[in-house]
């Protein structure tokens, strides 16, 4: 009998022992990595801020769903105080292909006091402009940027500098 001959049982035992050691090693490395990531994340990321007392009180009292966003301390986007007017959603078909539709929600940031009649004129102007746009003009990120620039320019012309920014809330092409 040769010296390197082994019985099948010995080979199976060595394979099982090696597999158990590999699994144990991977488990230990995983736990050390997870623990290190948790510690490092705690050192880098600041703890979340505590909620203000005005917001914490209704939440603790179980006022979920009763008061909506106004009672929870979340301010709406369009208020007289911050000078932002949220325009009605604009839904229209494009010039080419005419079976494609676009839906756009825009908010206007005014310099100084808001002007609702001017906002309605701007709304109609944006609607008229979107009816002249083709799908190829607004495709991709560059086309979307051109659309934003064009709308900002039209608003600047109509408002004579009273609107500082046109903010897109939603933009959907179907």
pLDDT in tens, 56-65: 444 444 444 4
User: Which residue bears the tokens 């934003």?
Assistant: 148
Q: Is the pLDDT of residue 6 over 60?
A: no
Residues in CB range of 2: below 8 A, 6 or more apart:
none
Query: Which residues make beta-bridge pairs with 167?
Result: 107
Q: How far apart are CA 162 and CA 112, in angstroms?
A: 8
Per CATH, the architecture of 84-173 is what? 2-Layer Sandwich (3.30)
90 with 123: CB under 8 angstroms? yes
User: In the chain, pLDDT over 70 holds for what percent of residues?
Assistant: 71
Regarding pTM above 0.75, the answer is no
Q: How far apart are CA 101 and CA 118, in angstroms?
A: 26
pLDDT in tens, 10-26: 556 566 778 889 999 99
90 with 105: CB under 8 angstroms? yes
Domain spans, the chain: 84-173
126 band by pLDDT with thresholds 50, 70 and 90: very high
Q: How far apart are CA 30 and CA 23, in angstroms?
A: 11
């Amino acid at each position: 009998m040769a010296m390197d001959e082994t019985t099948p049982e010995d080979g199976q035992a060595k394979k099982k022992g090696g597999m158990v050691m590999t699994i144990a090693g991977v488990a230990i490395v995983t736990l050390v990595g997870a623990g290190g990531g948790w510690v490092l994340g705690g050192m880098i990321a600041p703890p979340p801020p505590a909620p203000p007392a005005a917001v914490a009180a209704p939440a603790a009292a179980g006022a979920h769903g009763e008061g909506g966003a106004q009672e929870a301390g979340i301010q709406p986007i369009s208020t007289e105080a911050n000078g932002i007017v949220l325009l009605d959603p604009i839904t229209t078909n494009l010039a080419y292909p005419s079976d494609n539709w676009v839906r756009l929600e825009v908010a206007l940031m005014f310099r100084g006091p808001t002007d609702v009649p001017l906002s309605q004129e701007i709304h109609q102007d944006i609607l008229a402009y979107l009816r002249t746009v083709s799908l190829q003009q607004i495709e991709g990120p560059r086309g979307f940027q051109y659309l934003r620039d064009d709308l900002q320019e039209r608003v600047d012309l109509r408002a004579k500098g009273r609107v500082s920014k046109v903010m897109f809330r939603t933009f959907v092409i179907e």
